[in-house]
Amino acid sequence: MIKLNEKGHSLIEWRKKLIAGQASSREICQFYLNQIQKKNNQLNIYLVTNRQILKEAARADQIINHDKKAFKKQPLLGLPLAVKDNFCTTNLPTTAASFILENYQPPYQSTATQRLTNAGAIILGKTNMDAWAHGSSTETSDFGPTKNPHHLEYAPGGSSGGSTAAVAADLAPAAIGSETAGSIRQPAAWCGVIGLKPTYGRISRWGVIAMASSLDCPGPITKTVADAALLYNCLAGPDYHDATTIQNQPQKLPSKKTIPNRPLIIGLPKEYFNQSQQDVNQKVIAVANQLKKLGHKIKEISLLDPTLSIAVYTILQRAEVSSNLARYDGIRFGRDRSHFGLEALRRIMLGTFVLSAGYFDQYYLKAQKARTKIVKDFQKVFTNIDLILSPTSLTAALKLGAWNDNVMFGETQDVLVEPSALAGLPAINLPCGFNKQKLPIGLQIIGPQQQEKKIIELAYQIETLTDEKN
């Protein structure tokens, strides 16, 4: 039985309780429903919850009671998850946090959510986000901002702020989000949780409401590295619905703490540390020094100035936004364009401009060439090192409203994650301490394409170091 004062656990911890008969799926789901009822009005994390969840949990309990080995076929059996509200779900509305899709009920399921339910997971509900994923604070949501569980006057980051806040506030043991240029890693840093952004194309984006199609990446948000590996293994793989998915089968990530089979050469990009605040740098450098004591080689490296990625990302993302949002004309989906929020209108206008006749070569084509230079810059660096370690965000969480007077808030806040997103690289955020205001600070590990396993192995080591320190 779950105790009344029990705190939320990781997915793997809950699964152990299910196997041992110390909890049922119905009890676990009811625990989170109670948590949501207590906290959601204050935090504004869930836009909708699953009314059928207890029935689904009861069915899972029947399977578990009949066969404890069922977890070998369904590793997430009976475990509840939160889902960012840009993943299409047939049993729950999907709004992308926009009034245009306020009552939209998708006729099909996204590949990501389908794979999770195939693995036995139960969807708790859909979480808040920046409308259409346009933002880095979850304040552009048409349904109001989400608040950071660590301090209610601060933003959780975005655009997957609802999902990261759900995990941080114990309103879900884990969640999935999507990242275009930091939308998993940056809010994970601000909320103090794990956020894994896979190689572009490793997890299908079919059924995810598109923002920038050449950048969008679904990924897991969890309490532990092991949970991130577990969800990744359930999500990753080719999908015939999505031609951009990588066609080779992904390498399975270790679900238990493992260490790299040799000392790694870890690069610290000086240009990234030059951008971020001193208190953030100190926490990341402290972890780097600990890794050095473990035998890894820490090496200062040089990458292209990350601020260059702001212009590249802004042009390419706006162009793809203007194309993707063109379908929301009130004929096929929801309401007409008069219901677009200010941020969506800004992005549509700029994107239409850079794609227009006479300006395409001057802006869009030039940005694509600059993107190629960023890709090659990473490739060159990775010939001499294994992984990159840096701050995830320039700062810890900022106060609600910080974005109001800065139309480029998202791009400037995501400056340390945009280059790797443009290059399609895998990366993970890990919490590495707190600042003086008791707000979480995050670091990121960036690796070459399709090297999620190497990233996870180092993440396990860092997780152990930070756990021991705390």
Residue type, 435: N
Return d(Cα 275, Cα 391) in angstroms, integer. 9
**Average pLDDT, stretch 412-435?**
96
Token pair, residue 94, equals 């999907």
Please answer whether residues 102 and 71 qualify as being in contact, where contact means their C-beta atoms are separated by less than 8 angstroms. no
For residue 186, being part of any structural domain is answered with yes
Question: Is the pLDDT at 405 greater than 80, yes or no?
Answer: no
Q: Which two tokens stand for residue 168?
A: 């941080």
Give the max Cα distance, the chain.
67
- Percentage of the chain exceeding pLDDT 90: 88
What does the block give as tokens for 26?
């119905």
pLDDT over threshold 90, residue 281: yes
Annotated catalytic residue within 24, 25, 84, 420: 84
- Sheet strand arrangement including 122-127: 46-49, 122-127, 80-84, 174-179, 217-222, 194-197, 427-434, 440-446, 387-391, 265-269, 297-301
Give 382-392 pLDDT, tens digit per residue.
999 999 999 99
What does the pLDDT read at residue 119?
Answer: 98
Residue 124 near residue 53 (C-beta atoms within 8 A): yes
Q: 159, exposed or middle or buried, with CB in 10 Å at 0-12, 13-18, 19+?
A: buried
In the prediction, which pLDDT does 404 show? 83
Is position 448 within any domain?
Answer: yes
Does residue 315 lie within any of the structural domains? Answer: yes
Q: What total of structural domains would you count in the chain?
A: 1
What local confidence, expressed as pLDDT, does residue 3 receive? Answer: 63
Annotate the chain with three-state secondary structure: CCCCCCCCCCHHHHHHHHHHCCCCHHHHHHHHHHHHHHHHHHHCCEEEECCCHHHHHHHHHHHHHHCHHHHHCCCCCCCEEEEECCECCCCCCCCCCCHHHCCCCCCCCCHHHHHHHHCCCEEEEEECCCHHHCCCCCCCCCCCCCCECCECCECCCCCCHHHHHHHHCCCCCEEEEEECCCCCHHHHHHHCCEEEECCCCCCCCCCECCCCCCCCEEEEEECCHHHHHHHHHHHCCCECCECCCCCCCCCCCCCCCCCCCCCCEEEEEHHHHCCCCHHHHHHHHHHHHHHHHCCCEEEEECCCCCCHHHHHHHHHHHHHHHHHHHHCCCCCCCCCHHHCCHHHHHHHHHHHHHHCCCCHHHHHHHHHHHHHHHHHHHHHHCCCCCEEEEECCCCCCCECCCCCCCCCHHHHHCCCCHHHHHCCCCEEEEEEEECCCCCEEEEEEECCCCCHHHHHHHHHHHHHHHHHHC
Residue 87 lies in a domain: yes
- Residue 2 inside a domain? The answer is no
Q: What phi, psi does 183 have (nearest 5°)?
A: -75, -5
pLDDT value of position 406:
79
CATH code of 145's domain: 3.90.1300.10
The verdict on residue 3 lying in a domain is no
pLDDT exceeding 70 applies to what percent of the chain? 98
Catalytic entry in 159, 322, 390, 420: 159
Q: How do residues 219-263 score in pLDDT, each as one tens digit?
A: 999 999 999 999 999 999 999 999 999 999 999 999 888 878 889
User: Taking 60 as the threshold, does the pLDDT of residue 469 lie above it?
Assistant: no
Q: Is residue 1 assigned to a domain?
A: no
pLDDT tens for each residue of 173-227: 999 999 999 999 999 999 999 999 999 999 999 999 999 999 999 999 999 999 9
In this prediction the pTM is 0.96
What is the domain range of residue 301?
11-469
259 domain residue, yes or no: yes
Q: Which of 402, 399, 315 is nearest to 356 (CA)?
A: 315
Whether residue 5 is predicted with pLDDT greater than 70 in this model: the reply is: no
User: Is 84 tagged catalytic?
Assistant: yes
Instruction: Note the pLDDT of residue 319.
Output: 96
The one catalytic residue in 160, 178, 183, 322 is 183
